[in-house]
Chains A and B, each alone.
Chain A
Amino acid sequence: MSLKIKDLPEENLFTKGHTACPGCGGAIMAKIAMKVFGKNTCAYFPANCLLVFGGTYPLNAFKVPYLHVLFENSAVCAAGIKRALNKLGKEDVNVVAFAGDGGTADIGIQALSGAAERNEDIIYICYDNEAYMNTGIQRSGSTPFGAWTTTTPVGSKIAGKERFKKDVPRIMIAHDVPYVATASISYPLDLLKKLEKVKNMKGFRYLQIFAPCPTGWRLDPSKTVEIGKLAVESGMWTLYEFENGKMTINKKPKMIPVREYLKPQGRFRHLTDEQIDILQELVKKKWERDLAMAESTH
């Protein structure tokens, strides 16, 4: 039986008082994830929004023990905690790293790849808001094509990001770890199912959760969930799982025009028709590729 929203405990282990921006997708992710993982959990946070809005000493919104060491070593620090807990006879504790997309796709990818290759017994969550939001909206490897950020400004010569979003889940699939999945805060039932699954598995588990950032995306903060749905419906973000060598698509995109997804976001306001066409073409190719992979592994 799969977990339903009403099955979740009342108590929040990521509790009120945190200082996230209104409509923060990361905060929604943390709240849901902590409800599923429960008290028997140790968390790791790199230098990211979650660490800062989750608690500035002596305040703290997390009711589980957590460690912060640095930015680029989330995977290995989580693994170090897990190995030490094993040595202390506490093998049943969930150890979860919560890193952003910059801390995962860019600076953290070496430690991530190493931990995955060693099949460290940890859960690694990348909450993807497609830029370095904590430091002020700078582009990351996970920023999509065309997006405005403070380091891909809309200039008269170059406007927005010139390269495409790095596909980290596909990199993780190449590691042949027990579990890789994509999810979104806008699809809570699918997210719950995946969180529950990783909680009850062993070995290296990677979950990349689409978590819109209204502040960085120049989006109305009441539209966080809506924009996440448009991302999936347009095919900009695909929901799938890779488990035991098999890839399963969890939601077939409706393939609404990407323009519908881009329109509410100030970060894409400047896009020309040609740039939108490039994105539309990219979405098509990505979907065909994901589908072919899903079919070929079954």
Chain B
Amino acid sequence: MMRMVTGNYAVAYGALLSRVDLIAAYPITPQTFIVEHASEFVNDGLLDAEFMRVESEHSAMSACVAASATGVRAFTATASQGLALMHEVLFIAGAGHLPIVMPVVNRTVASPIGIWAEHNDTMPQRDTGWMQVYCEDNQEVLDMVIQAYKIAENKKVLLPIMVNLDAFILSHTVEPVNFPEQSKVDKFLPRYKPEHVHLSPDDPMTVGSFAPPEYIQEVRYQTEESMLNAKKVIQEVNDEFAKMFGRNYHGMVEEYRTEGADAILVTIGTVTSTAREVIDEYRAKGKKVGLVKLRFFRPFPIEQFIDIAKRTKAIGVYDRSISFGSGGPSFIEVKSAIYGHTSIPMINFLAGLGGRDVMSDDIELMLDKTLEAAKTGKVEKDVVWIGTRGVTP
């Protein structure tokens, strides 16, 4: 059934279709409607879930961790400062192998306080043991909430996951979204029955024991192993979903018109849609450019980028966030991934920070600079700020 809905509604409906057992959430702009819609679903009897309207995001994540450790499917959603407040708790879910799904409406983290799209909320959560996927439109948002549980609960993975959507550009924008049937989703995503963790007096288990150095390093290795296993599982779940529902997101990355491209632009989040249009225009003019949509940031698609880098002459990477003193997080990761496999030039483009619009002109500039690098084999500046007052790109 096709319906016109916002990204936030798509998120909440995804949770409903996933038959989550427990929701613990705290409102924050621009995520609020997710909590409101979920409240309506529960109060109207459409979703049979425990709903904890907690007093902070720290408590929202704590409740999800406790519930998941007890053995149920847990759900929350947040944004920006709320995610920053959860930071401490995120590590427990990662190392604890608790497959919690959390949509994050990507919003700028203060200061200055703002409410629009930036990825500086989720990017700093890189090392918490959470998987991260970034969505381009509201259909993908709905589909990824469902896929997220399937990936997270896979026995080879058992890790939590953030499903990311850009503030307002998706969260508050109405788009046509195809709603899958509940019976089909039930078939795709069976009930969660954990074997690795539970809290039950019938079979006492200690979860989160105090541990000496003799044991902690192995726990770290297990989280890494799960993260690496996830790469294969993400693709398998993608393919199974595509077969069942007819929508293919291509797993860790999606390539768009990369055949024979001299210059490839890597984008993340909603900017991808704008970039597709510009790529089409350039291709129509005979310019050899292609696009890679970076979907999963954790685990990072290292193998895919090694392959892509070998097929092109220059790579530009767009970031909606910066790691101060180094560059955009996606840029740093792509560069690290392809090191030693190729020596093609790479440029980082920073634009749209704080939620400023990224226009087709900006994408053109990115493509032109990457094409120039492909031609000369050199880059003037590694990190290029686009549309910044007083700064020449």
A residues at B contact (CB < 8 Å): 39-42, 44, 51-52, 55-58, 60, 62-70, 72-73, 76-81, 83-88, 90, 93, 110-111, 113-114, 117-118
Contacts and interface: CB of A to CB of B under 8 A. Distances in A.
A81 B70 contact: yes
Contacts of A117: 55
Given A62-B206, A72-B58, A80 B201 contact: no
Contacts of B205: 65
Q: Which of B71, B74, B210, B212 has the most CB of A within 10 A?
A: B210
A80 B66 contact: yes
Contacts of A57: 206, 209-212, 215
B332 interface: no
Interface in B306-325: none
B67 A65 contact: no
B207 A76 contact: no
18 contacts: A55-B206, A57-B209, A58-B215, A62-B206, A65-B198, A65-B199, A65-B207, A66-B207, A67-B66, A76-B59, A77-B65, A80-B22, A80-B64, A84-B71, A88-B70, A93-B200, A114-B59, A118-B54
A72 B74 CA distance: 20
A195 to B, nearest CB: 17
A110 B54 CA distance: 10
Given A73-B58, A84-B70, A114-B56, A79 B200 contact: no
Contacts of B246: none
Nearest to B23: A83
Interface residues of B, number: 42
Which 10 pairs of residues, A with B, have the shortest CB-CB distance? A80-B66, A114-B55, A84-B70, A68-B208, A80-B63, A73-B62, A84-B67, A83-B50, A77-B66, A76-B59
B62 A77 contact: yes
B95 to A, nearest CB: 11
A197 B21 CA distance: 30
Given A51-B210, A84-B50, A85-B70, A65 B65 contact: no
A60 B63 contact: no
B21 A56 contact: no
A83 B64 CA distance: 10
A51 B207 CA distance: 11
A67 B208 contact: yes
B63 A76 contact: yes
Contacts of B69: 67, 81
A78 to B, nearest CB: 7
A60 to B, nearest CB: 6
Q: Which of B62, B66, B69 has the most CB of A within 10 A?
A: B66
A143 to B, nearest CB: 25
Contacts of A70: 62, 88-89, 92
A222 B58 CA distance: 41
A92 B92 CA distance: 27
A231 B336 CA distance: 63
Interface in B189-222: 198-201, 203-212, 215
Given A57-B215, A81-B199, A65 B204 contact: yes
Contacts of A78: 66
Nearest to B93: A69
Contacts of B215: 57-58
Q: Which of A44, A51, A63, A85 has the most CB of B within 10 A?
A: A85
Contact of B66 (A63, A84, A88): A84
Interface in B34-82: 49-50, 52-56, 58-59, 62-72, 74
Contacts of B101: none
Main secondary structure of the interface of A (DSSP, over half): mixed
Interface of B: 21-22, 24, 49-50, 52-56, 58-59, 62-72, 74, 88-89, 92, 198-201, 203-212, 215
Contacts of A63: 204
Contact of A87 (B50, B88, B92, B210): B50
Contacts of B207: 65-68
Contacts of B203: 65
B52 A80 contact: yes
A73 B210 contact: no
Contacts of A86: 50
Contacts of A65: 198-201, 203-207
A85 B201 CA distance: 11
Contacts of A77: 62-63, 65-66
Nearest to B92: A69
A14 to B, nearest CB: 13
Given A65-B200, A81-B70, A110 B56 contact: yes
A270 B55 CA distance: 42
B206 A83 contact: no
A69 B66 contact: yes
Nearest to A44: B66
Given A80-B64, A111-B62, A73 B199 contact: no
B21 A118 contact: no
Nearest to A63: B204
B140 to A, nearest CB: 29
Contacts of A76: 24, 52, 54, 59, 62-63, 66
A87 B54 CA distance: 18
Q: Which of A52, A68, A73, A111 has the most CB of B within 10 A?
A: A73
